[in-house]
Structure 1
Amino acid sequence: MGHIRFASDVGAPPDAAFAYAADFQHGPQWMFGVTDVAPLGDPDQGLGAAFAVKVRLFRVIPLRSAVEITEYRRNAVIGYTLRGRVCGTVTLRFDPLGYERSVLTSEADYPPPRGMFARLCHRLGLADAAARSALRATESRLRREIEAFHGTDLVGRIA
């Protein structure tokens, strides 16, 4: 099982950062490779909410996956469980850092790859590198989108 963790400063308070990330309609703007997110029934927010997700890996390979919110603490934590060909868990934590700032911690846990080619990529370190790159891109995009949504830059000034 692989595990990756990144943390960064965000120029928005935890409640604003959480509000942006919790709205599924913003998903394609910040989730790496995601082109479409659609709710799978009620609720469409909070614990137990499920979504159908269209993903394009490397801009070429189209995949469909299901995502469920399995951890949810308002203004603090959102945990996603991905099921399908792209699987694992992604957890976003929002902690206060000071006036109009917060810390965004992104964590991902993913199973070892299946199949002969996937195992070869794993042994060469390519699978971990790809997962690390995808989480870093997701975290970076989410931070930028939150700051644009809140109208501030990294140090919390009005943009």
Structure 2
Amino acid sequence: MGHIKYASDVGAPVEVAFSYADNHLFVPDWMFGIARFAPTGEIDHGLGAVFATTACVALWRTTMTCEITEYRRNVVIGYTLRGRLSGTLTLRFDPLGYGRSVLTSEAEYVPPRGFVGRMSVGLMDSVVKSALRRTESQLRREIEEFHGTDLVGRIA
């Protein structure tokens, strides 16, 4: 199983950062390659929420399910992707002080199997690293933009 981890400083308190990441309507804005993220049941956030997800990367398009498998308010959200792309994305939020927080993004994925899979492990690692880095930096920018608006009672 492949594992990649990034951490970054976010210019917003943990509560604001978590609230933004917890809203399923914003997921296509920050998660790399995700074009659609819609709840499939009554629950639209929190542990056990399941989403129909459409991923678009270049000309390739696939549909999969995404379930929130780890959830602690203002601490962690864990997404598990199931389908042609499978793995987990875990977002951790830690207070940094002075209205700032640390966002730690971790991805775990299953590399392709068989001879061709073993030959393409380096390529797969590279693609996942790039996607996680883009997801993390876009989420950080979106949180900071969200925090700078009157949506949370402040005007930048």
Tell me the TM-score range normalised by the shorter chain.
Answer: over 0.9
Q: Aligned match of 1:143 in 128, 136, 140? A: 140
TM-score w.r.t. the length of structure 1 is 0.91
Opposite residue 74 of structure 2, the aligned amino acid is N
Match of 2:3 in 1: 3
Percentage identity across aligned positions? 62
Match of 1:50 in 2: 50
Task: Spell out structure 1 runs of 4+ moving beyond 2 A.
Answer: 114-120
Aligned Cα root-mean-square deviation (Å):
1.5
- C-alpha displacement at 1:115, in angstroms? 5.2
Superposed, 1:7-22 pairs within 5 Å as: 7-22=7-22
- C-alpha displacement at 1:120, in angstroms? 2.3
- C-alpha displacement at 1:121, in angstroms? 1.5
Opposite residue 8 of structure 1, the aligned amino acid is S
Provide the C-alpha distance between the structure 2 equivalents of 1:87 and 1:109, rounded to a whole number of angstroms.
9
Opposite residue 34 of structure 1, the aligned amino acid is I
Opposite residue 38 of structure 2, the aligned amino acid is A
Residues 108-133 of structure 1 show CA distances to partners (whole Å, capped at 9, x for unaligned) of: 111121355443221xx111000000
Opposite residue 127 of structure 1, the aligned amino acid is M
Match of 1:85 in 2: 84
Match of 1:110 in 2: 109
- C-alpha displacement at 1:84, in angstroms? 0.3
Match of 2:124 in 1: 127
- C-alpha displacement at 1:42, in angstroms? 1.6
Matched, 1:67 2:66: yes
Match of 1:31 in 2: 31
Q: Structure 1: 5+ residue runs without aligned partners?
A: 153-157
Provide the C-alpha distance between the structure 1 equivalents of 2:114 and 2:29, rounded to a whole number of angstroms.
31
- C-alpha displacement at 1:77, in angstroms? 0.3
Matched, 1:95 2:67: no
Provide the C-alpha distance between the structure 2 equivalents of 1:55 and 1:114, rounded to a whole number of angstroms.
21
TM-score w.r.t. the length of structure 2 is 0.93
Q: Structure 2: 5+ residue runs without aligned partners?
A: 150-154
